[in-house]
Amino acid sequence: MATGWAGDNAVNEQIDATIKDGIKRIRSRLPTGPSLEACEECGAVIPEARRAALPGVRLCVPCQEEHDREQSSMSGYNRRGSKDSQLR
């Protein structure tokens, strides 16, 4: 059922677009190229198992965890707006 000017499938299209944007953003952050043998932040040796499991790895586990924490704290709100914000 459509409300206002929104099409019948508008909510599902918005959800799909948000998911596609999220996947695209995450894929763009994946490392590429050859893995480093030493962490580019602290210089610690990156274990062979980590380099084999994640091609293009550039950080050791502790530095990667810190980097991930910083990234998650900077993540913003859904730029397309929530349902509540559209109803106001």
Q: Are 31 and 51 in contact (CB under 8 A)?
A: no
- Angle made by CA atoms 21, 27, 28, in degrees to the nearest 5: 90
Residue 27 is predicted with a pLDDT of 87
Q: Domain limits of the chain? A: 25-71
pLDDT at 39: 95
55: which 2 tokens?
């091609």
pLDDT in tens, 11-53: 899 999 999 999 999 888 887 889 999 999 999 999 999 999 9
Query: CA-CA distance, 6 to 77, in Å (whole number)?
Result: 22
59-77 pLDDT tens trace: 999 999 999 898 877 665 5
More confident of the two residues 86 and 43: 43
How high is the pLDDT of residue 88?
A: 47
